[in-house]
């Protein structure tokens, strides 16, 4: 799938790529509508429709990922509400061995998430994901999301990766498109980000449903 000898740096998305996206989908599409319905005294389906239209207005922008934005928009304590369902935060079953293999191979491993720093810390607390990484980056620190070319410029200045020696893994096709436009050479999609949803068909990028298919090549092809 890849010539691993050329890959020096691995940039990894978090939600849906290393963590089961079921938590986020459940929170935004079920738990928050339920709690908002109670708060606004409307039906749960009205709450779901209302929130969905609000989500669509800011999808892919920094606001969409910003907990303060949502807390302010709908006047609810988003951080506390997330904690109510935090037991659903979990590492994908195949992620541990993949991350260990990457780490042992000596490559630089950087988490690059659009998640708000507070969402990131809640997830680190629950999963200890930080132990696998050289650096954890919330794109909020650069004021731009992965959908934007500006983020890739700022990220490259900060991390110092070379496009032709970098692998980027994400479950979002529009984000992979953005990385491709910037020139990141090696791209990989996750076809099953949410364990409770069917596998998606990915046609534009190499895609996997289980990291174990990569383990042999990571171990047998050191980077040069």
List residues binding Mg ion (CB under 5 A): 13, 15-16, 171
Q: How far is the CB of 208 from Mg ion (least distance, A)?
A: 14
Q: What is the DSSP letter of 142?
A: G
Q: Measured from the CB of residue 11, what is the shortest distance to Mg ion in angstroms? A: 12
Nearest CB to Mg ion, comparing residues 51 and 171: 171
Looking at the DSSP bridge assignments, the partners of residue 11 are 110, 168
DSSP for 80-117 reads HHHHHTGGG--B-TTHHHHHHHHHHTT-EEEEEE-S-H
Cβ proximity to Mg ion: between 24 and 51 the closer is 24
- Are residues 54 and 73 in contact, defined by beta-carbon separation less than 8 angstroms? yes
Structure tokens at 6: 């050329």
**Closer CB to Mg ion, 29 or 43, in the complex:** 29
> And the tokens for 171?
């479950």
* Least distance between Mg ion and beta carbon 80 (Å): 23
Query: In terms of CB distance, is 94 or 171 closer to Mg ion?
Result: 171
Its sign, for the CA torsion 149, 91, 211, 100, is positive
Helix/strand/coil for 158: helix
Q: Which is nearer to Mg ion, 16 or 33 (CB)?
A: 16
Which residue minimizes CB distance to Mg ion?
16
Measured CA distances, 167 to 4, 15, 51, 86, 152 (Å)? 9, 17, 35, 30, 13
CB of 65 to Mg ion, least distance (A): 10
Q: How far is the CB of 66 from Mg ion (least distance, A)?
A: 16
In whole angstroms, how close is the CB of 53 to Mg ion at the nearest point?
22
For Mg ion, the closer CB: 47 or 112: 112
Cβ neighbors of 146 (< 8 A, separation 6 or more) are 13, 112, 114, 139, 152, 170, 172, 175, 178, 179
């Amino acid at each position: 799938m890849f010539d691993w000898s050329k890959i020096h740096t691995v940039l990894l998305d978090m939600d849906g790529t290393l963590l089961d996206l079921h938590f986020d989908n459940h929170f935004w599409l079920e738990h928050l509508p339920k709690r908002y319905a109670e708060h606004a005294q409307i039906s749960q389906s009205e709450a779901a429709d209302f929130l969905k239209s609000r989500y669509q207005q800011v999808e892919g922008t920094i606001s969409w990922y910003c907990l303060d934005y949502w807390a302010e928009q709908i006047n609810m304590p988003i951080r506390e509400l997330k904690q109510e369902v935090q037991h659903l935060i979990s590492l994908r079953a195949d992620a541990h061995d993949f991350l260990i293999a990457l780490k042992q191979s000596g490559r630089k491993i950087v988490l690059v998430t659009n998640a708000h720093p507070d969402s990131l810390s809640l997830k680190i607390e629950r999963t200890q994901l930080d132990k696998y990484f050289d650096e954890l980056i919330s794109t909020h620190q650069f004021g731009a999301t992965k959908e934007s070319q500006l983020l890739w410029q700022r990220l490259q200045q900060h991390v110092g990766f070379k496009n032709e020696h970098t692998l980027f893994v994400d479950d979002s096709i529009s984000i992979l498109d953005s990385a491709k436009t910037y020139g990141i050479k090696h791209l990989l999609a996750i076809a099953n980000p949410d364990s409770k949803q069917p596998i998606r068909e990915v046609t534009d990028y190499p895609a996997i449903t289980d990291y174990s298919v990569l383990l042999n090549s990571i171990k047998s092809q050191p980077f040069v």
